[in-house]
Amino acid sequence: MPLDPFLLTLLQDPVDHGELLYIGEQDVLYNPRLRVVYEVRDSIAVLLPDESRAVSDQEHEAWSTDSKAIRTGR
């Protein structure tokens, strides 16, 4: 289940407080500045730094240029 559009306008990265990219097909929130990804579990964004993971160069390239990605924090 995708994240609520209103919720997406409120979300930001807990570390650098910048916007995230919501990758709906993968159900993750991605921070391209820090190259970390946060999971979305049962429509709940898990924005805990200890729960994030680093991404590969391939993931970074794909997600940074994904035209379907939704920017958060607007």
Chain length of the chain: 74
**DSSP calls for 23-70:** ETTTTEEEETTTTEEEEEETTEE---GGG-EE--HHHHHHHHT-TT-E
Q: Which domains does the chain have, with CATH numbers?
A: 5-71 (2.20.25.10)
Six token digits for residue 36: 């970390």
pLDDT above 90 for 2: no
Percentage of the chain exceeding pLDDT 90? 89
pLDDT above 80 for 1: no
pLDDT: which is higher, 74 or 53: 53
Confidence tier at 73 by pLDDT (50, 70, 90): confident
Question: How do residues 10-45 score in pLDDT, each as one tens digit?
Answer: 999 999 999 999 999 999 999 999 999 999 999 999
